[in-house]
Amino acid sequence: MNPDRMLPALLYTAALFAPVPASASPQAVVTGFLAEVRSGAHPERADRYFAPQVQAHQMTSEGESTVVRTPAEYADHVREFLALFGAFHFEVTETLAAGDKVYVRWRQQGRHLGSVFGERPTETPLTEISSAVYRVERGRIVEYWIQTDRKGLEIQIDRAEPLPWEHGL
C-alpha cells in the first residue's frame, strides 16, 4: 500500500476507536451512544460511552429496580435486542438536555423474532417506544432512568397472527 494513503487510513481507524473526550457535552455523548451502540450498529463500542459501572434504573409502575451494568454487559443487552427484533430501525424522536442530564425518546421497529414475555415468536412487525434520562460525568454515561411501553409491546404480540405452519397449513 502507498505510504501516503496509510496515514489517513490509520488516523481514521484510530478515530473510530478513540474514547469520547471528557470535555464532550452530555448531549454529544448521549447522541453518539444512541447512534453507535443503542441503535444496534456497534454494541461493542459501549465502553466509549459508559463508565466502568452504570446504574440503570428500570422505571415501572409495579416496582422500580436498579441494575448495575458494565459496558460489556450493556453490549450483550443490545445483542439481546438484536436477537429479539432482528436488525431493527432505531429513531430518536426527541432529545432535551439540561446540565448533566439528557432526556431522549425513541422508536424501535423490528420483527418479533424472539420471545419477549414467554410467548412464541410470530415474525410480525413490532414497535417499541421508550424514553430515558441519561446522566453524564466527564464524558461518560454514569446513570440512566428508562421507561418502555411494555403494554404496547404486549398488545402487538397478542394481536399477531400465528405463523402459517401453526395452523397446520
What is the per-residue pLDDT across 66-88, written as a single tens digit (0 to 9) for each?
999 999 999 999 999 999 999 99
Over the stretch 15-42, which tens digit does the pLDDT of each residue have?
A: 455 677 888 999 999 999 999 999 999 9
**CATH tag, 21-161:** 3.10.450.50
Q: Where do runs of H (alpha helix) occur along the chain?
A: 3-17, 26-33, 71-85, 150-159
Domain ranges of the chain: 21-161
Sheet of 89-98, strand order? 65-69, 50-58, 140-148, 125-137, 101-111, 89-98
- What is the pTM for the complete model shown? 0.83
